[in-house]
Amino acid sequence: MFYLIASCVILVVLLWASWLAVGWLAKRFGQSPSKVARVLLTLCLTMLLAIGAIAAWLTRSYHGDTTAEQALLSDGQVSVTPEDGGCLFDGPGESTVLVFLPGAKVQAEAYAPLMHELAAGGVDCLLVDLPFNIAFLSASSLEDMIARHPCEHLILSGHSMGGVVAASYAVEHPRATDALVLLAAYPTGKVPEGIAFLSVYGTEDTVLSHDAYDAARELWPSDARELVIAGGNHAGFGCYGAQVRDGKALISQSEQREQTVAAIIELARQIEEDS
């Protein structure tokens, strides 16, 4: 809702500014365009300004910090391999793979610490690199990553908008999905009963729409699990600094990440035991 209202306000401002600009230019060059011509010129100018604004927005993202950069390096437990469309975090696990979609406008690398720790705990991870860092543009990248890495158990996961897209993919491909893990996100379609489900969010998260989150509970499977991290916030799942409109975390990112990793690994172990 916030983004819809903001978009409408921006559009009105652009139209108003374009109308004034066309009028000023007409006077500047001694012209007197008809109302129809002025409206058409205003719409054209508004379109150009909107395209420029969208391009500027698409090129601005949250970047991973030094902790994220370190997590992109291989060590004795986890081998980190960049590949077309993302990055593979290969640890001691052999049967379970988690495919992760980043949040909107967040570079994939910001989630490297979370992926690295999960891989060290026995859940290999595929971190998907999204076009323009927008999860809704990830369909082909997601499918390619899954196809290149066949596994016994597949967990789909994502943060914020990435979680919404991951949930949609799981709903559309229930036979290929063993589990769905949403971080500060919620599904928009009914999650099949055969998919193990885990939802995680922080108590200080003011980016997540809690009304929409609560309304989406009816879309969860009956055996859904939920972890509410006391003191955690929206940005705490990644390492990219503070996020606009987010609440202030009362715990460290490493503490939030530790609780998240433990819950996901527990879910993965349950899936493996039940197979």
Question: Residue 46, class by beta-carbon neighbours within 10 Å (0-12 exposed, 13-18 middle, 19+ buried)?
Answer: buried
42 Cβ contact partners less than 8 Å away, ≥ 6 residues apart:
15, 18, 19, 22
List, for residues 130-187, the tens digit of each pLDDT value: 775 554 445 567 888 888 899 999 999 999 999 999 999 999 999 999 999 999 999 9
Residue 1 has pLDDT above 60, yes or no: no
What's the pLDDT score for residue 130? 78
pLDDT at 51: 64
Please check whether residue 25 is in contact with residue 44, taking contact to mean a CB–CB distance below 8 angstroms. Answer: no
**pLDDT tens digits, one per residue of 246-272:** 999 999 999 999 999 999 999 999 999
pLDDT at 57: 52
pLDDT tens-digit series, residues 71-111: 999 999 999 999 988 999 999 999 999 999 999 899 999 99
- Per residue in 187-245, pLDDT (tens digit) is 999 999 999 999 999 999 999 999 999 999 999 999 999 999 999 999 999 999 999 99
Amino acid at 19: W
- Per residue in 216-230, pLDDT (tens digit) is 999 999 999 999 999
User: Does residue 34 surpass a pLDDT of 90?
Assistant: no
> What's the pLDDT score for residue 201?
98
pLDDT, residue 47, reads 77
User: What per-residue confidence (pLDDT) applies to 60?
Assistant: 60
* Domain definitions of the chain by residue range: 2-58, 66-274
Q: What topology does CATH give the domain 66-274?
A: Rossmann fold (3.40.50)
**pLDDT for residue 28:** 73
According to DSSP, residue 62 is labeled B
Structure-token pair, residue 145: 């990553």
Count of CB atoms situated within 10 Å of the CB of 140:
10
